[in-house]
Every structure is written in structure tokens, then in C-alpha cells.
A = this chain, B = another copy of it.
Amino acid sequence: MHRTRVRIVEDVLDANDTIARANREDFERAGVTVVNLMSAPGAGKTTLLERVLPTLEGVRVGVLEGDVQGSLDADRLARLHVPVTQLNTANGFGGECHLDANMVRSAIPALPLDELDLLIVENVGNLVCPAEFRIGEDARVMVSSVAEGDDKPLKYPLMFRACELVIVNKVDLLAHVDFDMERFASNLDAVHPGVRHVPVSARTGEGLDGVRRWLKAVGSGRREEAPVR
């Protein structure tokens, strides 16, 4: 019984990787770099995008917004006058807790790829499953809020291992929460040695220049030299 279950999961992930490669080819053909942005619920992905997207001079950016239900975040981002496409996992996908390659594939016809250099996919808020499903992205980035605690890399190692950049958000709360940045960095290094992290506050703007520089470099096809500090 249990053995069967694991087998199904592996088959699902296998099929997902096949579709993710097809997505990747479509994005490459269109010259669009894709960033898969992940976090726990309420870590501040949308607020971060509200702050940085209007200031990516020279990079044409769009957003694919993944949510279980509703369009609250897409509505917020649409005010920025960037193209936003909503993908709800509750409609026809059984209320999934993550985006998978097939969901993203179903959204591709609705994306204005010809008008974009950079597509940010805002994943469903969840620190477990999104890390298991490639969607055809070039880079995976996560947002971890200091309000969640500095132990999170140890508790959700797959997510922190999957990302090439960890944005540590809400540093304006550091004086009010039990979060030690050095302990976080050490926990992060234990599960993903060498990965970069950048402390920011999407609310006050602190540290966002690093995120902007990184996104601009990635969106211009210069990912290798993308700096964050």
C-alpha cells in the first residue's frame, strides 16, 4: 500500500519534469527569463513585488500569480501597470497547494511573452510542496520572513535547498521578534552551503536595491553576474 503511494508520487514528479522542460523551451524561444518566487503564506512576496517591479528600468516584467483562490494579489499588482495573469489552483486542479508544470503550461497561451524579458511566477504560499515541482523556470527564489523564526531552514530544508537566492524579509521587525540573523545564516548554510541571502524590508524599502540589481541582471540574461549586495 505504502510502496504504491511513493511510486505514484515519483510518476507524478517525472511527468512534471517532462512538462517543465517543454515550458522552459517555450520561454527560451520567446527570450523570457522565468523566476519562480516561493515562500510561506504572508512572508511578503506581493509587497516585495509591489516595491521592486515599477523600478526595473529597461526590463519588461510580467507576473503569473498563483493562488488557491481569489485574485487579491493579482489585483494589487495590476495597479502597477505590469501584465498580470491569475492562475487559481482551486479551479479545476482540486485545490492544490503548489503550482506544477502543467498548471503553468495551461497559462502560457494567456501570457504576453512577446512583450516580456522577465516573468515572475508568484507561487502558492507554502514551504513544502512548491519546492518539489519545477515549472520551467530559470531560477528559484524564496522569501523568508523574520517573523517566521530563524529555525525555518532546518525545518523546511528542501525549500531552502531548492533556491539560489533567499530574500530575508521584514527586517524592520527584528527588534520585536526572536530572530538572530547570524543563527539564520548558519542554519541556512547547514542545509544549503554557499547560497546567497539578502536581508530586506519590503515595507520600509531597506535592502531592496540588491533585489532590484539581481532581477535586472537576471532579466537581462546576465544571471551569472547577478549581484545582491
Residues of A within 8 A of B (CB): 2, 5-6, 8-9, 40-42, 67-70, 72-73, 92, 94-97, 124-129, 132, 145, 147-149, 151-152, 154-158, 170, 172-173, 176-178, 203
Contacts and interface: CB of A to CB of B under 8 A. Distances in A.
A8 B12 CA distance: 12
How many copies the complex holds: the figure is 2
Nearest to A73: B155
A97 B128 CA distance: 6
Contact of A67 (B97, B148, B155, B173): B155
Contact of A72 (B94, B154, B158): B154
A125 B155 contact: yes
Nearest to A151: B72
Nearest to A15: B1
B94 A42 contact: no
B69 A155 contact: yes
A108 B67 CA distance: 35
A126 to B, nearest CB: 6
Contacts of A149: 42
Nearest to A145: B147
Contacts of A96: 128
Contacts of A69: 154-157
A173 B42 CA distance: 14
Given A41-B156, A172-B176, 4 more contacts: A41-B127, A41-B148, A42-B145, A126-B126
